Amino acid sequence: MSRNTPSTPRGKSAVAKNSPGVAVRAAAARAIAPVLLGKGSLSQLDEHQVVARDRGLLKALCYGTCRALPRLEALGAQLLARPFKARDADVHALLLVGIYQLLYLRIPAHAAVGETAGAARLLNKEWATRVLNGCLRRLQRESAQLEAAVDKELAVELLHPQWWLDVLRNAWPDDWREIAEANNQPGPMTLRVNRRQGDREQYRELLDGPGIRSRLCSHAPDGLTLEEACDVSELPSFGDGRASVQDESAQLAAVLLGPIIAPRPGLRVLDACCAPGGKTAHLLELFDIDLTAVDSDDRRLGRVEDTLSRLGLSAKLIHGDASGREWWDGAAFDAILLDAPCSGSGVIRRHPDIKRLRRPSDIATLAELQARLLDNLWPLLVPGGTLLYATCSVLPEENADQVAAFIARTPDVEVTTPRNLSWGRLAGAGQQLLPRPDSHDGFFYARLKKAD
């Protein structure tokens, strides 16, 4: 991540409590505080709580602060005489937001300091304005010394808690540092073009009209990656379903299922753990299938419904737990997509709060859930049917090792994952993608056929 340390301003400027700059920083603190406490995530961020022109800044402050959190917290500890109490996590978040602005954003120093300190009043903590002002001004004066002191720690240098680095190093001894560095860069904005309304070359020409530059994805035939991210409202015909936002790696699910589904229109297909619905929609855009989509989160299932509505597609949506069968009508499926809940270790760059919210014990818990899902869904396949197992993880426990254990205890499994793919690398019975800057997220796929 690039850093930009503004010069120290002369004098002090009063900041009005109702200033938009103060409001956006207070909103960022409110969003980040639950992350610090391990009680919420940035997925709950409501960008509409600030005026339209500040929504981009709000998102930049929240995601950027969480991305650099280990380093910001180390600097905060240097600046504070004693830590904030848990009830003042919002003030702690304000301090981290202020440090982030001074070191990483091209925001004038007087705004970064004054409006961040002033935001404490909107949190009803007037006392904190002086503390924040003092800490941030000290950082301006002593940034070189303070940064040099904290950057000696590997966890600070690579912006990951040490346990995360240990897990990555154990999984990928030759690639762990590269993975961590990729995690620290925001992922590019990639589109999936709706082939029912034209191909990606045609849509790329549409993007050229408003000056939105893009390039063809290397591996996903419906994918375009934008040179610069933009609001979806700027995308031509987005509201009419011409395109959707989806990373290249996630689009490969349809590529792997295509040879199974395309020759046989009308197949009965299950998308288990389907929310937020990107893969659901992609399958429906490409293939004439009878699709059932199941998810245990009713709120997220609503997002799937909204997505399908925008695209003019339909599926049978069911609120249910795919590790059980209460939702099942008893009719077997020809193909199943299991995009299993996982650590999210392959998409940290898009969800940087994962670095804070995950715990080492979560990996084993998630692996147990994945095993239950595989064991429960496999009998729902017809003989000769295909299950595509997918995760947005880079950890073998959730991927290659998980599938190997499933194969060992399941006698009627045939591995049909292509061995000559142009993307990723072989990983047991599957294919593993690692996150790449300006390219795809980390993802794992394994295609398994049930014996006839």
Question: 190-245 in CATH: which number?
Answer: 3.30.70.1170
Neighbouring C-alpha atoms within 13 Å toward the C-beta of 224: 27
Q: Can you name the CATH fold of 248-450?
A: Rossmann fold (3.40.50)
- Contacts with 245 (C-beta within 8 Å, 6 or more apart), sequence order: 189, 190, 191, 192, 232
**Known catalytic residue at 392:** yes
Q: How do the domains of the chain map onto residue ranges?
A: 20-157, 190-245, 248-450
Helical packing angle, 69-79 and 55-67, nearest 10°: 80
Same CATH fold assignment for domains 20-157 and 248-450: no
pTM (global) more than 0.95:
no
DSSP 195: G
Nearest alpha-carbon partner for 132 in 85, 216, 76: 76
Nearest alpha-carbon partner for 279 in 266, 265, 268, 293: 293
Neighbouring C-alpha atoms within 13 Å toward the C-beta of 208: 7
> Selecting from 3.90.25.10, 1.10.940.10, 2.60.120.460, 3.30.2270.10, what CATH number does the domain 20-157 have?
1.10.940.10
Q: Which of 135, 217, 273, 392 is catalytic?
A: 392
172 within 8 A of 180, measured Cβ to Cβ: no
Cβ atoms within 10 Å, residue 437: 14
DSSP 219: S
Q: What is the pLDDT along the chain (452 residues), one digit of tens a residue?
A: 444 433 333 334 445 566 779 999 999 999 999 999 999 999 888 888 888 889 999 999 999 999 999 999 999 999 999 999 999 999 999 999 999 999 999 999 999 999 999 999 999 999 999 999 999 999 999 999 999 999 999 999 999 999 999 999 999 999 999 999 999 999 999 999 999 999 999 999 999 999 999 999 999 999 999 999 999 999 999 999 999 999 999 999 999 999 999 999 999 999 999 999 999 999 999 999 999 999 999 999 999 999 999 999 999 999 999 999 999 999 999 999 999 999 999 999 999 999 999 999 999 999 999 999 999 999 999 999 999 999 999 999 999 999 999 999 999 999 999 999 999 999 999 999 999 998 999 999 999 999 99
Return the exposure string of 77-104: e unless at least 16 CB atoms fall within 10 Å of the residue's CB, then b.
Answer: ebbeeeebeeebbbbbbbbbbbbbbbbb
Rounded-to-10 torsion of CA 310, 316, 320, 322: -100
Return the exposure string of 17-26: e unless at least 16 CB atoms fall within 10 Å of the residue's CB, then b.
Answer: eebebbbbbb
